[in-house]
Chain A
Amino acid sequence: MTASDPCFLSVAEAAALIAAKRLSPVELVHSYLARIERLDGALHAYVRVLPDEALAAARAAEAEIAAGHYRGPLHGIPIGLKDIYDTARVATEGGSKLCLGRVPASDGTTVRLLKQAGAILLGKLTTWEFAIGGTAFDTPFPPVRNPWNRERDPAGSSSGSGAAVAAGLCAMAMGSDTGGSIRWPAAWCGLAGLKPTYGRVSRAGIMPLSFSLDHAGPLVWTVEDAAIVLQVIAGYDQRDPGSVDRPVPDYRAALASPDLKGVRLAIPRAIFERDSSASEAMASAFEAAVEVLRGLGAAIAEIELPPLALYNATASLITRSEGFAIHEKTLRERPLDYGALARDRLTIGAYVRASDMVQAMRRRLMLVEATNAAMEGFDAMLLPTCPDPPAVLGELGPYFDNRRPMYMRPFNLTGQPALSLCNGFEDTGLPLSLQIVGRHFDEATVLRIGHAYERATPWRERRPPL
């Protein structure tokens, strides 16, 4: 990829050129298809590429824009979808042998909104089996490779989404996040990944894993791109029982402020120093990021949250129970059609008693209240996204999160918006990541902080060496 390659453009940059009729959506789709053809054989980000459909949609977009009917900044933008997002007449298989040949009749809500905004679907992206199975070698879909180093894991479960955006194989990809599955691959692939507030973005038409912890959101090259996508997909949907009817602000307008004067940021330092210590590289990148944010005018102080293990244990019981409830019938009838990791991770939910689940939901409410109380007087929290840079592919192990607990699940439990973004690279060139956690429904502030940080740092100038 060269600096002039259109696959190098952020969504915002491509949109500006398309709106000015200086970039053809058809040419853009051709560029992405050629790049996918050249690179994806080694990366495995896509499970299904849709060249004919994408080119037809691009021609339609081009004609519409030429006729003066520009729909907005996703019009003509090529995207990918994690293969748990239902797509009308296009197979959606959830990374599992159990769903091979499953073709939904209709689009999920977010897919419909993205298409209405003019986005062009390039294809479906690899997912961990049912968004839980881990980096598996025994499913019909080979594990995704990290574009920054193909011997490394891109993380999951939105592994194809992370790798595709990082490698320039689509401009934006949708993922899902039950315990970090947007933010973690964003972190390990050097991207921005946004988990919006629970209830902000519809999950209707997305395969569920854990009803009360699942979130949908974008993986993108820049924070500005996350704002653009959120603008399109945010809003109430009566098809999603968790959806909340709240006004949707102008997210991109929130990015206009040149500094962070008046913004109050909290650091829950014990989480990543006492409870699960961040690696030296991740910790030093975090401290450097804090200084950048301070330099932009933010006021920064430390707070104390409940122990990380308590959040993670509570979330674990809920995920196990809800996941088993969804999969019990097929686990009993067709266990051999699951990969071993998904089968084990789902089956263990059978051992959670009903009363254990109720206690977890009691604890959950306490943790939400404790987190809200700790954040009183602050606009957002800062912490690393995860303790370590990308692991060697295949070496995560089935219980990696017990050995090295990560810092994302607390905010699935509380439902707060959380953004991960690149805050540097370790010496080997692997990406590092910062997490910004906001108050409920205040994605605008989270995006503002992330965008200001991104503009003040050089990390968006580097792309994977492909």
Chain B
Amino acid sequence: MADSIEDRFAVETELLGLKLLPGQEATLRAAYAALRDAIALVGADYGFEAEPAHVFVPTPGKARGP
């Protein structure tokens, strides 16, 4: 298991099959760290029944479609 952010980034990049361009690795690694922070903040500890927002429709309208 990769422990550090750098290691996790490297492992996931390989798993995703991404071929990074010269110079891209450093900027993406920084973005990856921010992304991990965002994921941690959003969290994963939701109630079993917690429904996600679907395509966001704030107030029910009439039936959509043709």
Residues of chain A having any CB pair with chain B under 8 Å: 197-199, 211-212, 236, 238, 241-246, 309-310, 312-314, 316-317, 320, 332, 335-336, 340, 343-345, 347-348, 350-352, 355-356, 358-366, 368, 398-399, 402, 414-416, 440-441
Contacts and interface: CB of A to CB of B under 8 A. Distances in A.
A360 B35 CA distance: 12
Main secondary structure of the interface of A (DSSP, over half): helix
B50 interface: yes
20 contacts: A198-B56, A199-B56, A241-B55, A242-B56, A246-B59, A313-B38, A314-B38, A332-B18, A340-B24, A340-B27, A343-B24, A348-B31, A362-B51, A364-B53, A365-B52, A398-B27, A399-B30, A399-B31, A415-B58, A440-B58
Interface in B3-37: 9, 12, 16, 18-19, 21, 23-24, 27-28, 30-32, 34-35, 37
A197 B27 contact: no
Given A245-B61, A313-B42, A335-B21, A344 B56 contact: no
Contact of A316 (B38, B43, B53, B64): B38
A241 B39 CA distance: 28
Contacts of A363: 42-43
B27 A344 contact: yes
Contact of A344 (B9, B24, B65): B24
Contacts of B57: 198-199, 242, 244
Contact of B66 (A238, A246, A335, A361): A238
A332 B19 CA distance: 8
Contacts of A336: 21
Contacts of B35: 316-317, 320, 348, 351-352
Interface of B: 9, 12, 16, 18-19, 21, 23-24, 27-28, 30-32, 34-35, 37-39, 41-44, 46, 50-59, 61-66
Contacts, number: 128
Contacts of A320: 35
Contacts of A440: 58-59
Given A243-B64, A351-B16, 13 more contacts: A198-B58, A238-B64, A244-B64, A309-B41, A313-B38, A317-B35, A343-B21, A344-B31, A352-B35, A363-B42, A399-B30, A399-B31, A415-B58
A313 B66 contact: no
B42 A317 contact: yes
Contacts of B52: 358, 361-362, 364-365
Contacts of A246: 59, 61
Contacts of B44: 355, 359
B64 A245 contact: yes
Contacts of B53: 212, 361-362, 364-365, 368
B56 to A, nearest CB: 5
A370 to B, nearest CB: 13
A197 B21 CA distance: 39
Top 6 A-B residue pairs of the complex, sorted by shortest distance between their CB atoms: A361-B52, A313-B38, A244-B61, A440-B58, A365-B53, A245-B62
A348 B42 contact: no
Contact of A362 (B23, B38, B46): B46
Nearest to B12: A351
